[in-house]
Amino acid sequence: MSDSYRRETPALVLRLGFQLLVIIGAGAETPHFHATMTVLVPHLSYTCPAGANVTMQCVVVGTPMHAKDKVQLGWLFTPHQNQRCHEPIHPRMAANHSHPQGVHYNTTKDAFLVTLLNVSHSDQGRYCCLAREIHMEKHHLNVVQNPHGYVLLTVTPRQNGSLKCTAIDHKPPEGTVAAGLAIAGCIMGILSLPLILLLVYKQRQTAQSNRRAHELVRMDSEPHGHENPVFLGGSPQNKTRTVSQIMTRQSSETGRHLLSEPSTPLSPPAHGDVFFPSQEPIPESPDFMQV
């Protein structure tokens, strides 16, 4: 793998990750830009015994997109808890808009409620709360946005004469932006994981190839008797010196020629023949001092 490839691969990974983050961020921010209202449900589910009274509520958060628009609040019902409220059926009321019995609607500053009196098994199902923003444009009514939520009602047989309903609290979602960023980061990490693994694999392959090359060089240099192939010279040979060369050795650490001082033991005489023949080469070894 070349050096240019190793330099370009991390940059390519970063560019792809940044582009993916921009695309995901743009897609996540688009609904928040257009939707200015949302409907939250404080209690997701109610469980009531037969004959009890129950009040379900939804909370509207936000403001209309246009200041002069009207917001219509309403409730729809379906007996199937796992289905949406497709048909325009209101609680305890058929599609012919007959007046319902035992149903009361109420609206506060931020919430709208529906109360059912003396519930029975026929009241069990899903209750959908809607908030429609109606915009008047050229004498035509247009629904700008239609946020909604739902509440589940389960009716059980009465036991021990108790008429108390049990509500399951459902906190409204908080930190939507942080959750969106976390989801985007997870998606980006999952999508970029193959590229990161490929980069790591290529780097490990290069390291193994270099290690294998060093092993081959070391194995090739071992039969020649050297560890480093740079030192390819033969084994050193003992050099011989003549007596005159030995007598004219370099100075010691004190700066004096040890064998040239008159008072030094085994010093040659100042005049005359030397102790050993001058032409006979002898090897320099420790045995020289014992002759």
Q: What is the pLDDT of residues 110-146, one digit of tens each?
A: 889 999 999 999 999 999 999 888 888 877 888 888 8
The pLDDT value recorded for residue 28 is: 45
Yes or no: domain 36-172 corresponds to CATH 3.20.19.10? no
Instruction: Give the domain ranges of the chain.
Output: 36-172
- DSSP H helices, 240-282, are 243-247
CA 82 to chain CA centroid, nearest Å = 35
The pLDDT value recorded for residue 272 is: 53
- Residues contacting residue 61 through CB under 8 Å, at least 6 positions apart: 37, 38, 39, 40, 110, 172
Q: What is the pLDDT of residues 48-68, one digit of tens each?
A: 999 999 999 999 988 888 888
Q: Which residues of the chain have pLDDT under 70?
A: 1-34, 94-99, 170-177, 222-291
The pLDDT value recorded for residue 95 is: 52
The pLDDT value recorded for residue 211 is: 85
The pLDDT value recorded for residue 22 is: 46
The pLDDT value recorded for residue 120 is: 93
The pLDDT value recorded for residue 188 is: 85
Q: What is the pTM of this model?
A: 0.47
